[in-house]
Amino acid sequence: MVMLVGVLAVAAALGVVGAAAFLFRRYGRGSSDPVPDGPTAGHAGSMLSALFLLVFAIAIVVPWTTADAARLNTYTESHAAVETYWAAAGLPAPANAQVQGRVHDYVRFVVDKEWPLMAEGRLSPEGEARLNALRTQVTSVVTSTDDARNAQADVLDQVQDMSSSRRQRAADARAAPPPGVLPLTIVTGLFVILFPFLAGARPRGWTLVPLSLMAGLLGMGVYLTWQISHVFASGLSVGPDAFTAALLEFQQIPSIG
């Protein structure tokens, strides 16, 4: 349906141009404008450039903003994992060491097994199962002191934060630019490059230098939009750095045993 509406909008715009050209010629309005540097070519060229800049800005800003938010969320989730690891130390033995081991295994699972799946726009259901098992284990711990009960509450709170951040990470993995933005960026970029030729100009000699430079920069810009089009599957994708740092931090926390 969206594609059909777009095609109809393009057809309607072309119809307006054709009708205006026919009516103005029929009633003798305006003057002939066949030259490449005439008002028609100048107006069309400036508007085409503005359209490209608008689409290019959307293609860059939206994925870049999404990537920044996704990167920040990974640090939020990994921070909650570290805080869970610390809080688990206050649980009675042997649950304290067992909970810490589950937290460590979850973070290792995210780095080694789940991160490659995120490039496909999905998370592994095993990760959620691991968090549910962790929550169940902490809830079943029998506490006999206030300190232990406070530790249990802290662990459950941090696990809840991990679960919330995980759901947001799943949404980030599925995030994509608005449909059609990348193809429209490519099409408008090509029209910007070819417009002088379409308008009737025949650049030669040194005039080809700035045109070639502009074409190269436009190509680089389109390539950049493609590279950041997916948060976890591109040359500029978000990596598991936050979780790797959490694993290193686990090693610095005194072990329980």
Q: Hey, what are 190's tokens?
A: 């090509």
pLDDT, mean over the chain: 79
Task: Write the pLDDT tens digit of every residue in 120-166.
Answer: 888 999 999 999 999 999 998 888 888 888 989 999 999 999 999 99
- The CA dihedral of 236, 242, 244, 250, to the nearest 10 degrees, is 180
Cα 117 to Cα 84, 103, 127, 140, 169, distances in angstroms: 25, 20, 12, 32, 12
* Rounded mean pLDDT, 70-95: 91
* pTM attached to this predicted model: 0.73
Task: Write the pLDDT tens digit of every residue in 105-115.
Answer: 999 999 999 99
Q: Which of 9-13, 65-69, 251-255 has the highest mean pLDDT?
A: 65-69
Residues whose CB falls within 8 Å of the CB of residue 195, separated by 6 or more in sequence, listed in order: 44, 45, 48
Q: Which of 36-45, 116-125, 225-234 has the highest mean pLDDT?
A: 116-125
Name the band, by pLDDT with cuts 50, 70 and 90, for residue 64.
confident
Least confident of 8-22, 117-131, 222-236: 8-22
Query: What pLDDT score was predicted for residue 37?
Result: 56
Spans of all domains in the chain: 37-252
Residue with tokens 């969320």: 73
Least confident of 34-43, 145-154, 229-238: 34-43
Query: What pLDDT score was predicted for residue 75?
Result: 94
Q: Hey, what are 151's tokens?
A: 């530790």
Residue with tokens 């095609």: 7
Tell me if 146 sits within 8 A of 17, measured CB to CB: no
Rounded-to-integer distance, Cα 124 and Cα 6, Å: 36
> How many other CB atoms are there within 10 angstroms of residue 17's CB atom?
9
Query: What pLDDT score was predicted for residue 2?
Result: 42
- The CA dihedral of 71, 171, 247, 151, to the nearest 10 degrees, is 110
Rounded-to-integer distance, Cα 162 and Cα 99, Å: 14
Tell me if 179 sits within 8 A of 2, measured CB to CB: yes
Rounded-to-integer distance, Cα 232 and Cα 116, Å: 9
Query: What pLDDT score was predicted for residue 5?
Result: 45
- Judge residue 117's burial from the number of C-beta atoms within 10 Å of its C-beta, 0-12 exposed, 13-18 middle, 19 or more buried: middle
Residue with tokens 């991160």: 115
Task: Write the pLDDT tens digit of every residue in 187-198.
Answer: 888 888 777 777
pLDDT value at 208 more than 80: no
